Amino acid sequence: MKNLLILFGIFFLISTTKAQSLNGIKVPIIVGGEMTSKSKENTITFKVAEDIKDTNGKIIILKNTAVIASIDNEKARGIGRAGSIKIQFQSTQDINGTVIKLSGNETILGESNRKHVLGVGLGVGLGLFYPMLFYLVKKGGEAVLKSNTIISSAIILQNE
């Protein structure tokens, strides 16, 4: 009975140590394709930018392994509001094909013209020349995610 408890304890220690050793490891991700905040279709791909090793130096994720992510983009809008692209990283696979959950997100913003648009539109429009109120419909800049950009905000959440 005592030997069984010792064996169970060693097995438990080994299994929890392996899972904990992967948590928090950074995973740099490279962008394949280009996208703007006004894009209607998502043709962009994400891949691991370099081999990822555990704390013992063993490779756990190979370079160019596909990464699953969700993308939410918003077009630039009136009153100088900028467009945005929001990426939420979800998972990838290790060298054995096991799913590894990722955590991390990235937000790319276009240039905001909000202060300028409000200043000119309201200041000049209300004070001097009423047709300048139409200046308020001017949009901000679109966000652009370029091909081959490396994003380093993803980390391994846990090993399944």
pLDDT bucket at 29, cuts 50 / 70 / 90: very high
Question: Taking the model in full, what pTM does it have?
Answer: 0.69
Adjacent-strand bridge partners of 36 = 144
47 pLDDT higher than 70: yes
If pLDDT is split at 50, 70 and 90, which confidence band does 4 have? very low
The full 3-state SS of the chain, as one line of letters, equals: CHHHHHHHHHHHHHHHHHHHHHCCCEEEEEEECCEECCCCCCCCEEEECCCEECCCCCEEECCCCECEEEEEEECCECCCECCEEEEEEEEEECCCCCEEEEECEEEEECCCCHHHHHHHHHHHHHHCCHHHHHHHHCCCCCCEECCCCEEEEEEEEEEC
